[in-house]
Amino acid sequence: MKIKLTQRLLALAAMVPTGSRVADIGTDHALLPCFLIEEKKAALVIGTDLHQGPFERARQTVWEKGLEAYIELRLGDGLTVIRPGEVDTVVIAGMGGTAMRKILAEAPEVVGRLQKLILQPMTNPETLRFWLQEQGWVIDQEDLVYEDKQYYQIIGAVPLSPGNTVHCPFPCGKDVARFQELAPYYGPLLIQNRHPLLAGLLSRDLEGMQMTLEQLAKATQKEARLRYKEYAQRTEKIMELKQWLSVVNPSSI
């Protein structure tokens, strides 16, 4: 029986270029590597994990599927167990954006020879988008998945080159230029393509921000007042974006 993936993992797999050599960082049960090989999406996969328990579970999965010839598992931290040029695509999912940025920043020799990054941060997606822009990567794919009452942003990026300069880090497209300050948080392509789940993510964040505003309104410190102003401005912009998403012809507003 072939591996069945959740919607989140399927969205990650969909961004993997066919025939690529993939490193799956934090592979856990090695479900994604097995799927990529079974579906002939990847030529080979290196799955890594920092902890012994997930590493052993991954090894068991690969053995049960008989895919040892195509999937190599390594125990280690981030990209430290990957050699430069060994893979052309890296998938990192299920970690905080700050942790992902650290993993990428600490392995410039490996990252510098990649053709594709596929990232699914649990928190702080803006941290990754800013890093990608700073390091000369462009976002060419984005997706949003709602699973187990949680929204997951998925970011695909390629190195900047003459062949892909039609893409821009953010914003992407004149229609969303007015939402430039929100693009790092909610994705230039998610906004540009008016992803059907984006309004739900905005509504969730607005609820949390409203609670924060109520707490800041009661504070008297100067720093709190400055934060209140910042949060109020962002809340207004998010509400404007949500309204824009709901309009059939958004260019008219």
| Per-residue model confidence (pLDDT) at position 166 | 43
DSSP letter at 17 equals: P
Tokens (6 digits) for 54: 């997930």
- What is the domain extent for residue 189? 172-253
CATH code of 69's domain: 3.40.50.150
Domain closes at, from 164, 181, 209: 164
Domain closes at, from 141, 164, 187: 164
Tokens (6 digits) for 86: 């060994």
In a domain, 213, yes or no: yes
Q: Kindly state whether residues 21 and 138 are assigned to the same domain.
A: yes
Q: Kindly state whether residues 17 and 140 are assigned to the same domain.
A: yes
In a domain, 40, yes or no: yes
pLDDT tens track for 63-116? 999 999 999 999 999 999 999 999 999 999 999 999 999 999 999 999 999 999
Per-residue b or e along 206-245, where b marks 16 or more CB atoms closer than 10 Å to that residue's CB: eeebeeeeeebeeeeeeeeeebbeebeebbeebeebbebb
Q: Kindly state whether residues 71 and 137 are assigned to the same domain.
A: yes
Q: Kindly state whether residues 158 and 179 are assigned to the same domain.
A: no
| Burial degree of 150 (CB within 10 A; 0-12, 13-18, 19+) | exposed
| Mean local confidence (pLDDT), 3-13 | 96
Please give the residue that has the higher pLDDT: either 62 or 227.
Answer: 62
* Contact indicator for 107, 39 with CB cutoff of 8 Å: no
The number of domains in the chain is 2
131 pLDDT above the threshold of 80: yes
Please give the residue that has the higher pLDDT: either 1 or 214.
Answer: 214
In a domain, 45, yes or no: yes
| Per-residue model confidence (pLDDT) at position 2 | 83
Q: Kindly state whether residues 30 and 133 are assigned to the same domain.
A: yes
Domain closes at, from 142, 164, 186: 164
Q: Which of 132, 119, 192 is nearest to 160 (CA)?
A: 132
How far is the C-alpha of 140 from the C-alpha of 129, rounded, in Å? 12
Q: Kindly state whether residues 139 and 69 are assigned to the same domain.
A: yes
Q: Kindly state whether residues 89 and 139 are assigned to the same domain.
A: yes
| Per-residue model confidence (pLDDT) at position 173 | 62
pLDDT tens track for 153-192? 999 999 987 655 444 555 456 666 889 999 999 999 999 9
pLDDT tens track for 203-242? 999 999 988 888 888 877 878 788 888 889 999 999 999 9
pLDDT tens track for 86-96? 999 999 999 99
117 pLDDT above the threshold of 80: yes
In a domain, 1, yes or no: no
| Per-residue model confidence (pLDDT) at position 216 | 84
| Per-residue model confidence (pLDDT) at position 172 | 56
Tokens (6 digits) for 99: 């942790």
